[in-house]
Amino acid sequence: MAGLEVAFACFRGGITTPQDAVVCLLHTELIRRGFRCVGGGEQPRGDDKPSELLPSDWSSSKEVYTLRYQGNGGTPVLLVKAVTDDTSPATLLFNLVSTSTQEVMDLTVNLVEHVDAEQLQVFDRVFRDEADLVRQVHARLLSFPGGAAEPRAAEERRSRREEEEVEEERRRRRREDRDPLRLPPRHPNMQPHWWVGGNDPMVPPFSVGGADLDPFGSHGGGGMILDPLRSGFPRSGFDPSSGIPGILPPGAVPPGARFDPFGPVGRPGPDPDHLPPPGYDDMFM
């Protein structure tokens, strides 16, 4: 659990029994969820001050632990009481009371099962199953509604959701950048993701079918869309806005407008008798 090792190092001098270690773990989880410890005992005192540290006398009694916490904004106040039961197996009984809702949560921790009493000063070995103990704390003590832990958890969920949305947007953009059919390409000079090798995919014979992938000719090789006025071939000085005798009157095409010729301009049409079909003058045809 994040922060537990630091807390364990800070409070090591007060950790002399298995129940001390478990109380330290619960305190760390409450701090991580946004609570601050305001002191020991059941009643508020004049020197109460929210802190991430435990009171100096937090483990003076190995039989009963009483700590008070408050959430963001000063409310609600949580009263945590832990009582040691020395019967076999030794257990630690937790009661957590929210003063705002009067809701009571409880948890019983088997000390022998979760704490190695011979390794109390070695953080890596003191807890036998830290993950399971943290899970029980979440499920039995910190699941109450209306507490400061709820907004904290909601904020964490919202932050994770926003991070997931940002990452999904990045993945979507990467997919679009790699899509060879996307027009216009975001990176015209970037080779497609499916191209492996040192050859230029736009140079024959690798460019076969390239016009289908690049219809606008953004790579300079020409596309699949025919634009007679932008084909690159020499153009005559014909101005469609001046009209075409016998076809279009002057001004029919606005100056500068695109005009696709619908017939040979300035050239006579074909002779009707030019290249007649064989036998065209045969009366039996």
Mark residue 20 as left, alpha or beta (left: phi above 0; alpha: psi -120 to 50; beta: remaining). alpha
Nearest CA-CA partner of 23 in 51, 55, 49, 47: 55
Three-state SS for 184-205 is CCCCCCCCCCCCCCCCCCCCCC
What are 98's two structure tokens? 């929210």
Nearest CA-CA partner of 22 in 105, 141, 104: 141
Contacts of 17 (CB under 8 A, 6+ apart): 59, 62, 117, 120
Tens place of pLDDT for every residue, the chain, 285 residues?
A: 678 999 999 998 899 999 999 999 999 999 988 899 999 988 888 778 899 999 988 999 899 999 999 887 666 689 999 999 988 789 999 999 987 778 889 999 999 999 999 999 999 999 998 999 999 998 888 886 644 444 455 556 667 788 888 888 888 877 776 666 665 545 555 555 445 444 555 555 556 666 666 666 665 555 666 655 555 555 556 677 777 777 778 878 887 777 776 665 555 555 666 666 777 776 665
pLDDT tens digit sequence for 196-222: 444 555 555 556 666 666 666 665 555
Nearest CA-CA partner of 100 in 132, 145, 164, 131: 145
Secondary structure of residue 137 in the 3-state scheme: helix
pLDDT tens digit sequence for 151-208: 455 556 667 788 888 888 888 877 776 666 665 545 555 555 445 444 555 555 556 6
C-beta atoms surrounding 248 within 10 Å: 15
Tell me the domains of the chain and their CATH numbers. Answer: 4-151 (3.40.1000.30)
